[in-house]
Amino acid sequence: MGWWNYYGWQVYEGKTLYKDLFCFVPPTYVWVMAFLYSIFSTHILWYQLLGIIMFDCLGVLFFLMLYRVGKPILSMIAVSGGIAACLMAPYMIFFDYTTFLMFFVYLSCYFLVVSIERNDYRKYLFTLLSGISFGIAFMTKQTMIPFIVFALVILMFCYFSRMFSRKTFLVRTCWFFLGMLVTIAPQIYYLFETDSMSLFLSQTF
């Protein structure tokens, strides 16, 4: 926690990632920490409270997705069991990049499920929100989790594409990738603007 708080402080003070600071993750989480530093400074308690709220939201999102395919009581049992398993870990840091990453992965899946259920124009809005959320998760840390989720998302689209025309499927896919582009493009621009793309690649891969 203190490590990322330090990164946030340095970026808030004007340091450039990958040039002035060695960093092994993409910019998203560090930028978030810099923003939070401007509000909470070094008061770790506030970060933990924010993490607890985000952790609770994870449970809610998981329940809302399970609720759509199963009974409410079974969904609640599954969510409660998952939360209990997480809390049994030797140590639990509520607000770190893992919680942040999983929150936006779950949020992306939830928006995608909602978009598939809808038949009105808002289905494209939720598809766009799903892409934005996934783009944030994708640029949080170079891990296989977003890629696995992405594969599941594609399979889900392929399965549910039987419910609507090929044109609608392609339009939804374009909205999803547009959402990803909304979050990824500014970070790519930052890397080129600060002449740190090569450093970014060498430090994160």
Per-residue pLDDT at 186: 92
- Which amino acid, one-letter code, is at 2? G
Per-residue pLDDT at 41: 84
User: Is residue 149 classed exposed, middle or buried when 0-12, 13-18 and 19+ CB atoms within 10 A define those classes?
Assistant: buried
CA-to-CA distance for 7 and 35, rounded, in angstroms?
11
Please say if the pLDDT value at position 181 is more than 90: yes
Mean pLDDT of 28-57: 86
Our measurement of the distance from residue 98's CA atom to the centroid of its chain's CA atoms, rounded to an integer in Å, reads 9
Per-residue pLDDT at 77: 62
Per-residue pLDDT at 95: 75
Our measurement of the distance from residue 160's CA atom to the centroid of its chain's CA atoms, rounded to an integer in Å, reads 23
Please say if the pLDDT value at position 46 is more than 70: yes
Helix axes 97-117, 122-138, angle to 10 degrees: 160
Per-residue pLDDT at 64: 77
Mean pLDDT of 125-148: 84
Total residues found in the chain within this entry: 205
CA-to-CA distance for 42 and 34, rounded, in angstroms?
11
How many Cβ atoms from other residues are within 10 Å of residue 176's Cβ?
27
pLDDT band of 84, cuts 50, 70, 90: low
Whether the model pTM is above 0.75 = yes
Please say if the pLDDT value at position 62 is more than 60: yes
Burial string for 11-47 (b: 16+ CB within 10 Å, else e) reads: bbeeeebbeeeebebbbbbbbbbbebbeebeeeeeeb
